[in-house]
Amino acid sequence: MTKPPLRLGVNIDHVATLRNARGGDYPDPLRAALMAEAAGADGITAHLREDRRHIRDDDIARLMEGIALPLNFEMAATAEMQQIALLHRPHAVCLVPERREERTTEGGLDVAGDANRLREFCAPLVDAGCRISLFIGHDARQIEAALRVGAPVVEFHVGHYCDLVAEGRHDEAARELAQLERAIRDAHGAGIEVHCGHGISYDTVAPFAAMEEVRELNIGHFLICEAVFTGLGPAIAEMRRLMDDARG
């Protein structure tokens, strides 16, 4: 039996990181998004952080205007970000935890500890037509809380697994993967659409691409790094090839 299609969301944050290193206009994240589209991406992901360290407000406006692909707008659950999302009405809003001092999103959202507030927070976004996704770890309590919030999508944070693989800690990686697989099946079984993201590379994409319960992968940093050597189009095309191979 053929598995349902697997979408690739390309995260273009780190094109903006490079641009901001010199404060000019290039490389342009919109140009990267258009190249990603041409190379076979199914969506574009961008994270507008509170400190605007990579993506800026005008990038979101230009992406909404300039791309045909759906935009997955990653943001913290703050009033400021909610206003921006309501202004642009992106296809999807992915809620992530955010700490100023972190280098990247380190863990999942504590949905279980904040379910009532998140439910209220999401209501106007849902009314505006945005599909809500909650970025969570593999803890069963978070899945159960995502159901209470009424989120149609969860994205599992697979960064810890990817780090363990990169460090050659294979036994721990296998245990982490088993926990992720269980959580993916539980969330899917509960009727939630499952996405995965964070830290995925050519070496770590296969197990997630192979799972028919997974419908979308969001991948950024590795692709932008690989693009330095091969160009963005070929890097994305190779990721797409590995995803398709693993899906079988």
* Catalytic-role residue among 188, 198, 216, 226: 198
Q: How many CA atoms lie within 13 A of 148 on its CB side?
A: 14
The dihedral formed by the CA atoms of 114, 120, 123 and 125, expressed in degrees to the nearest 10: -60
- Only segment of 75-83, 136-144, 180-188, 220-228 that touches ligand PXP (CB under 6 A): 220-228
Site string for ligand PXP, 158-187 (x = CB under 6 A): ------------------------------
Check: CB of residue 247 under 8 Å from CB of residue 6: yes
88 is catalytic: no
198 is catalytic: yes
* Catalytic-role residue among 14, 47, 160, 195: 47
Selected from 56, 172, 221, 246, the binder of ligand PXP by CB under 6 A is: 221
Task: Tell me: does residue 204 bind ligand PXP (CB under 6 A).
Answer: no
Q: In this structure, what are the phi and psi dihedrals at residue 56, rounded to the nearest 5 degrees? A: -115, 170
- Only segment of 16-24, 34-42, 191-199, 239-247 that touches ligand PXP (CB under 6 A): 191-199
Helices 170-189 + 140-149 axis angle, to 10: 30
Selected from 8, 10, 12, 13, the binder of ligand PXP by CB under 6 A is: 13
Output 107 or 233, the one with its CB closest to ligand PXP.
107
50 is catalytic: no
Residues 82-111 that bind ligand PXP (CB under 6 A): 94, 96, 104-105
Specify the residue for token string 């944070």.
157
DSSP conformation class of 114: S
Output 171 or 173, the one with its CB closest to ligand PXP.
173
Q: Indicate the SS3 state at residue 216.
A: strand
- Of 137, 162, 132, 176, give the one whose Cα is nearest residue 222: 162
CA angle 100, 198, 70 (to 5 degrees): 95
How many residues sit in the footprint of ligand PXP (CB under 6 A)? 19
